[in-house]
Each structure stands twice: as C-alpha cells, then as structure tokens.
Amino acid sequence: MNVEKIRADFPILSTTVYGKPLIYLDNGATTQKPKCVVEEIEKIYYTTNANVHRGVHHLSQVATDLAEESRIVVQQFINAEHSKEIIFTKGTTESINLVAHSFCQQFCSEGDEIIISAMEHHANIVSWQLQETIRGIKLRVIPINDKGELMLDEMKKLITPRTRLISVMHVSNVLGTINPIEEIVSIAHSHDIPVLIDAAQSVQHIEIDVQKLDCDFLVFSGHKLYGPNGVGVLYGKEKWLNQMPPYQGGGEMISQVSFKKTTFNDLPFKFEAGTPNYPDVIALAKAIDYIKSIGLDSIKAYEDQLLKYCTDELTKINNIRIFGTSDNKCSVVSFLVGNIHHYDMGMLLDKMGIAVRTGHHCAQPLMEELGIEGTVRASFAFYNTKEEIDKFIEGVKRVVTMFE
Ligand code: PMP
C-alpha cells in the first residue's frame, strides 16, 4: 500500500478546514472520490451523453454499451453468475425497498414473518415496517450480545414455518461487527429461507463472492465504494427476481404496453423503470476498477491495522466506552467519553479539521438497546494514515481536557 500515492488520487484530502488539514474519518457515511471517477463523469457529459437503450444514434449506442459494460464490471466484482442479476438502483436504501416491496407482494401474506437484527440500519428496518402496514407481515428481531455480536442461537429460535426471508447487515455501521453471514445463509437455507445481505458497509472492505456465499440478495451503494452518489446495486438470484413483480412502472421496464394488457421486460430491465442514472452507473465501474487495482485484501489488511491502532489508543483514555468489542470488526469505532455529549465531541473535533460522525447513525433501535442516544464514530478508509489517527486521538484528549 503506497498511501501517499493513493492520497494524491483524492484531491479533497489535501484541502483544509478552518485552516487545518482535513482529517476525514467519516468514510462510513460516504467515501471520497478518486480523480478517475470524477473525470469519468465529466468525460461522459462532455463526450458521450445520450439516453441509454433508446436511440439508434451513435451517442446513445456508445452510452448504452458503457452502461452495460459497467453491469458486467459489477457482476465480476461480486462474482454473480449472470449480469442480468445486477439491478442498478439509487442506492442501498432503494435496493432494500425494492426487495421488500416486490418480494413481499409475491411471497408474503398476512402473518408471514421477516427476520432482521437489532443492529440494522433504518433502511433495513423501515422498508419492512412499511410492509407490516401494507401486508400484515411481522418482523422478528435477532438480539445482540454485550460485544455487539448477533446471537445466532436466538436467531434459530425465531425461525418458524411462517419465516419468509432473513435480512441482515454484513458489517454494522455503528459497532463495526462483521456478522457471520456464511453461517446465517447456511442456517436459513437449511429451512429453505432466502437471505438478503446489506453490504453497504462491507463491499468496500471485504471481498464478496455471492455464488460462494450463496446469498439470495445483496445490496450496496456506489457512494460508500469510492464511486458516485445516486447509484447503487441490487444483486438477486435470477430465480427470485424472475418471480418478483416490478417495483416501479414506466419506460424501459415494459415489453408491450396497451390499455388492455401490459407485459414486462426481461431482467434486469424489469426493475429499472425510467431513464437510469447512466453517467454514475458508468463511473461506478471506474471506482470498482480503482479498488481492484489496489486489491481488497491489501485494503482490508491496512484498514485492520488502522482500526487496531485507533482502538488501542482510544482504550487508554479514561472513562471511554467503546461500543462494539467483537474480535471480528471492520473499519469502524464508536465511542463516548464520560458524560461528554457526542455532538460536543464532534463539533470540537470539527474545529480541529477532523470529520467524524455523531448521533444515532440511522440505528435508533440499536441505540435504545445500548441505552444511549448516540455515539461518536470514526470510520476508516485505505487513504487514512496512522498520523491522522494520532491527530484524532490528540483531538479527543484535548476535548476531554476542556470538559474536565
Ligand atoms: N445500510 C447500512 C449498513 C448503511 O451503513 C447505510 C448508510 N449509512 C445504508 C444501509 C443506507 O445507504 P444509502 O443511504 O446509501 O442508501
């Protein structure tokens, strides 16, 4: 890992905030973009902009080819069997909403159950709650232990003949826990229950092979993967996607429209109504190529070092509470010190040029479980350095002294 060289690819990392060099530790919220991604977006608008899948003219065909090549880049990135199993969406949230809506419409009736977990992001809670209201399904919740790990024995007890799907996150955006998704898929499949994996916080850190994992759905966002905002991915096994009805109606998702009867397009277009966000879809492929050029194994090994170093240093601070102490963690550390409010800590760190996340991190049920309102969260990327962590720790200590 040549971090200095990598940092040069991210112009924002050499900017200042309040006259201090920016230390960006909010990568769990969104990642910064390398030049190649931003340049690709500019290039598309300046040289190849045309609506995709519609025109016979040259530009439309070039744009269509690029967007479809991007689908193959994503397919290979997660090793899906077919490119038609890759659906482009706005992001993780839309991907989960799509599955919740279309899967429940096809496969769930009143009283059927969906299992999620106590550590889920609101996207993987509220999407299902909407289906509770619409279809009378019921949510069952896997509890967590003191270390912030899923209790799989409890999960087994939640499975009933009415369980239709298990939907869990791979890596927690608050606790950093890497959940044992292989085991979850294996338990679920032994009961013929499909599994959705929310990979919003994992796909940028951990290599994922959907065929090996054998999950039924996997979702993630481009913007957390060093790619553009406004584009995301839903991977779904063909057998499920083929049976599920469309999520939205409009152009491109149809085969034939008449006032008597409308028929729908094949996969993946059945789930991509309207003009897709093709510039960002195309640029997402650049982000994936960029990550691949560094290598997820190297990225994970380097980020693990940062996480360990930061956790060790934080642990030395008096009255610190770290939320999420599993041995199997990834790139995120959440904490509180004494009675210092997380907003105060975040605001004062900001004045030192240090960007961290504060609040409930869109996981209010988890906060309730932990008996807190929010945490301070530092989340790392491969462009962060040990020196930045030193400054962050120094910053946290300064805030602590201010409150003493
Ligand atoms: N799931 C998890 C685990 C997340 O961390 C996030 C983003 N914080 C989401 C879902 C939602 O992602 P997006 O806002 O990009 O749709």
The whole-number pLDDT of residue 54 equals 76
Gap from CA of 169 to ligand 1 centroid (Å): 10
Taking the CA of residue 172 as reference, the ligand 1 atom at the shortest distance is 3
Last residue of a domain, one of 262, 292, 322: 292
Question: Is 362 marked active-site?
Answer: yes
pLDDT for the residue numbered 8 = 98
**171 with 258, same domain?**
yes
Name the residue among 168, 139, 117 with its Cα closest to residue 366: 117
Full domain range(s) for residue 387 = 3-27+295-403
Q: Where a domain ends, among 257, 292, 327?
A: 292
Residues enclosing ligand 1, CB less than 6 A?
91-93, 121, 123, 169, 173, 198, 200-201, 221, 362
Q: For a substitution probing ligand 1, which of 94, 172, 221, 330 has the most ligand atoms within 8 Å of its CB?
A: 221
- The ranges of the chain with pLDDT < 70 are none
pLDDT in tens, 124-172: 999 999 999 999 999 999 999 999 999 999 999 999 999 999 999 999 9
Please tell me whether residues 22 and 45 are part of one structural domain: no
User: What pLDDT does residue 53 have?
Assistant: 86
Both 8 and 67 in one domain: the answer is no
The dihedrals phi and psi of 113, each to the nearest 5 degrees, come to: -120, 145
Which of 90, 150, 173 is the pocket-test mutation for ligand 1 (most atoms within 8 Å of CB)? 173
Q: Tell me: the pLDDT tens digits for 247-267?
A: 999 999 999 999 999 999 999
Q: Are residues 189 and 211 in the same domain?
A: yes
Pair (113, 188) in one structural domain: yes
Please give the pLDDT value at position 351. Answer: 98
How close is the Cα of 227 to the center of ligand 1, in Å? 14
Q: Separation of 167 CA from ligand 1 center, angstroms? A: 14
Domain assignment present for residue 369? The answer is yes
In a domain, 225, yes or no: yes
CA torsion sign, 50 to 253 to 93 to 148? negative
Q: What is the pTM of this model?
A: 0.98
What is the per-residue pLDDT for 276?
95
Q: What is the C-alpha to C-alpha distance for residues 272 and 210, in angstroms, rounded to an integer?
A: 21
